A = this chain, B = another copy of it.
C-alpha cells in the first residue's frame, strides 16, 4: 500500500490538482499520509507517465497555473484491480506499548503520569477526528451503500480511539491495586 492508490481513489471521484490533493491528505487522519509536496507531485508525474491520469494545465489571471489531473480508463482499471486485491493486514505501531514494556523501573506516580498523558492525547485525537469528520472536504455518498461504507470507515477509527481510552483506564485502575 502506497499513496498512489489513495490518490487514484480521490481522482476517481473527481479531477484534482496536486495542491488540492495535498490539502485533502493533510486534512484527513484516516488518509494517513502527511500530505507532503514531494510525494504528491512526484507521484502525479509518475502516474501520468504510466497513463493512469491525464493532465490539463489551466492558466489563470492573477493566479499561478494549475495542473488538473483526471483519471483515465487505464487508471480506473488499475484502481479496480487494487480494490479487488487481497486485503493487507493493518499495521499498528504503537510506540507507547513499547515504552510501557520497560516502564517497571518507574515510580508509581511517574508511571501514572505517563498513562494519564497517553489517555489525554488519545482523547484529544478522538475529538480532533470527530471535528474533522464534521467539516471534511469530501464525503462521497453517491449511493446509500457508499455513504454507509464511509460511515463505517469513520466508525472504525472512532472505535479504535475509544477502545484505546478504555484500555488505558482499565490499566490505570489495575495498577492502583498492585502493592508497591
Contacts and interface: CB of A to CB of B under 8 A. Distances in A.
B156 A167 contact: yes
A149 B1 contact: no
A94 B154 CA distance: 12
Contacts of A146: 104
Interface stretch (A15-23, A46-54, A61-69, A115-123): A115-123
A137 interface: no
Contact of A145 (B83, B91, B118, B175): B175
Interface residues of A, number: 67
B9 A101 contact: yes
Contacts of A101: 9, 140, 149-150, 153
Interface in A75-117: 79-80, 82-106, 110, 114, 117
9 contacts: A84-B110, A86-B121, A87-B99, A88-B96, A89-B121, A90-B92, A90-B122, A90-B164, A103-B149
Interface of A: 1, 5-6, 9, 12, 30-32, 79-80, 82-106, 110, 114, 117-118, 121-122, 125, 140, 142-146, 148-150, 152-153, 155-157, 159-160, 163-164, 167, 170-171, 174-175, 178-179
The 10 tightest CB contacts between A and B, nearest first, are A1-B95, A90-B94, A104-B146, A9-B102, A87-B96, A87-B118, A152-B171, A97-B153, A91-B93, A88-B95
Given A83-B105, A97-B156, 13 more contacts: A9-B101, A83-B103, A84-B110, A89-B122, A89-B125, A90-B92, A90-B95, A90-B122, A91-B94, A94-B156, A103-B149, A144-B178, A156-B164
